[in-house]
A and B are shown apart, each in its own frame.
Chain A
Amino acid sequence: MKISDRDVLKIAGLAKIKILSGEIPKIAAEVEKIIGFIDRLNEIDCEEVEPLSGITVNRAYEREDIVDDGDYADDIVGNAPEQASNMFAVPKIVE
């Protein structure tokens, strides 16, 4: 599968990663290689295999509706680079 410069920029945009224009050809080639490797999965015929979303258990375990967590706001914001009144302070988001 061919990966264009535009594809690289789009993926970088979605991932919020800054890429310098000089890096694009190198990254495009690398991503193309990775996709090519994964593409080999398409060679497998799984027409008759049921879709599987996990390999450990086959159905969700459900918990009861009980409050048994919370009340540690200090720990929640403890690792934040910046906080105010137990909230995360981030650069202003303007919509």
Chain B
Amino acid sequence: MNTTGLKRNYTPDTYKREHNEWEVVIGMEVHAQVVSQSKLFSGARTVFGSEPNSQASFIDAAFPGMLPVVNSFCVDQAIKTGLGLNAVINLESRFDRKNYFYPDLPAGYQISQFYSPIVGPGWVNVHLDELRTFSLRINHIHLEQDAGKSFHDQHPDKSYIDLNRAGIALMEIVTEPDMRSKEEAAAFLKTLRTILRYLGTCDGNMEEGSLRADVNISVRQPGATLGTRVEVKNINSSRFTEQAIEFEVFRQIEIIESGGRVDQETRLFDSISGKTRSMRSKEDAQDYRYMPDPDLPPLILNLDRIERIQNSLPELPDMKLERLQKDYGLPYHDAALIASDREIAAYYEECLNTESKKHEGKVSGDKAKMIANWFIGDLFAYLNKANLELKESKITPAHLSELVNLIYNGTISGKIAKEVFDLVWSSGESPSKVVKNQGMQQITDSSAIEAAIAKVIEQNQDKVQEYQSGKEKLFGFFVGQVMKETDGKANPQMVNEFLKNKLSAG
């Protein structure tokens, strides 16, 4: 297996102050909720937003005498995630108890993997833009249980606890401290989310808390040893990640430059103020007293199982991005947008498949680009405006490919195509049917175009004279009149050419 280390093809910006230059060092622990029907150690459902405690089992609520049994599919999902992040899969891993008291943790311990996690070191490539790329090392991934949820706002002096989330499988993805800017941190989180969604191992829904990050931040003068790090807990968006880092960098630089020392502590991010505040300091740092869970024997994997999962991996976003650029000549921007989501990519590739079937396995770069334009330009705009998801669109990939062919072979002009698109959007009928029913075919018959030109010239003798005496700006007026005369269906290139000849001939 590849173990590419930290690399970047550019130099990250530093923070330059009056007397000093500072570099930020960032590592992350990302908690990703595993997509599965039932929980990691119990047979209760994992649906978001169910009635309070309706999906808590006696195991999740830690009733005495309950025995946890690991969910095989959750194990597969963790393996899949590890393989997607180029990581080592450990054939033997173990579960440990992480002890702490909190009302949403009924057993008084969380079952986690501390000493031997299921996934070992890996790496991931992250693109900041077309030119800047870096690769980041994954330290390990372990499986653990989620805790229940507390509600603090329902009663003046009570907190309410719902255990529906308790016991849902989480993957904790731990990186090395390889990020050097808030931009890199945000880009990594986005990339990780995309990969997990491609793999189908986490839905990446940050509003519902399916993906949350603890961000470790420290500053140092470039080349110096690592500074004291501060952990900012539970950040649930890329934007908040950037805000929290920005705030921490200035707070820490400020402390050091005024002669103080940064405390190693855990801080909370307040998304309203954009600030972080102290949660607990080192003096009362948590002592989790990890111990092997005697209820759970070691988790043993065999190579066949890993190979089967390896063979089921989809093409990952990085490879897709590269292929779209290489095989179809798509610009980076288009390719990156299409590859950024598995559903979007699938739609676009279905367009290309339709096209390829029609044309003996070939898709020209021209058409691939035209399809991309209609897809991310027009269709996205329509979807946004109607607040619909791609899968709800009446315009199918076959429609889009057909529309592009109608333009390409000259049946309709690009302008008419917009009208056709609009009609297909609302009716769901095929573009060629719409064109036929509405008589929208482009006029390429030269005698018909010449007739329209003759009529326009006839009716605008005064303008013709003005044009001929040097007012060339009027050319656009004539084009407009001819198009009007033909209901916008005349081939624009032919109109231009014929008009020029006619008008200059006098």
Instruction: Name A residues whose Cβ lies closer than 8 Å to a Cβ of B.
Output: 10, 14, 16, 53-54, 56-71, 73, 75-77, 82, 84-95
Contact = CB atoms under 8 A, between A and B. Distances in A.
B64 to A, nearest CB: 11
A85 B44 contact: no
Nearest to B294: A54
Given A54-B294, A87-B53, 12 more contacts: A10-B287, A56-B297, A61-B297, A65-B71, A69-B58, A70-B57, A73-B51, A76-B163, A82-B158, A84-B160, A86-B53, A90-B158
Contacts of B45: 67, 70
A85 to B, nearest CB: 6
A61 B52 contact: no
B423 interface: no
B151 interface: yes
B297 A91 contact: no
B150 to A, nearest CB: 6
A87 B162 contact: yes
Contacts of A65: 36-38, 71-74
5 smallest beta-carbon distances between A and B, as pairs: A65-B73, A69-B43, A73-B53, A62-B72, A70-B44
A67 B37 contact: yes
B159 A63 contact: no
Contacts of B296: 53-54, 60
9 contacts: A16-B101, A53-B294, A62-B75, A69-B59, A73-B53, A73-B56, A86-B51, A89-B161, A90-B103
B56 A76 contact: yes
B89 to A, nearest CB: 16
A87 B151 contact: yes
A63 B43 contact: yes
Contacts of B157: 91-92
Contacts of A86: 51-54
Would you call the interface of chain A mostly helix, strand, loop, or mixed?
Answer: loop
B451 interface: no
B37 A66 contact: yes
B306 to A, nearest CB: 15
B272 interface: no
Contacts, number: 140
B278 to A, nearest CB: 11
Contact of A93 (B37, B59, B75, B152): B152
Interface residues on B, range: 35 or more
Interface of B: 36-38, 42-45, 51-59, 61, 69-75, 94, 99, 101-103, 150-152, 154-163, 268, 279, 287, 289, 292-294, 296-300
Given A73-B51, A90-B103, A14 B289 contact: yes
A88 B38 contact: no
Nearest to B277: A95
A91 B298 contact: no
Contacts of A92: 152, 155-159
A31 to B, nearest CB: 15
B54 A73 contact: yes
Contacts of B99: 14
B36 to A, nearest CB: 5
Contacts of A69: 38, 42-44, 57-59
Given A71-B54, A91-B157, A57 B38 contact: no
Given A73-B54, A87-B52, A61 B69 contact: yes
A91 B51 CA distance: 22
Contacts of B151: 87
Contact of A95 (B42, B43, B268, B299): B268
Contacts of A89: 155, 158-161
A77 B148 CA distance: 14
A28 B162 CA distance: 39
Contacts of B154: 84
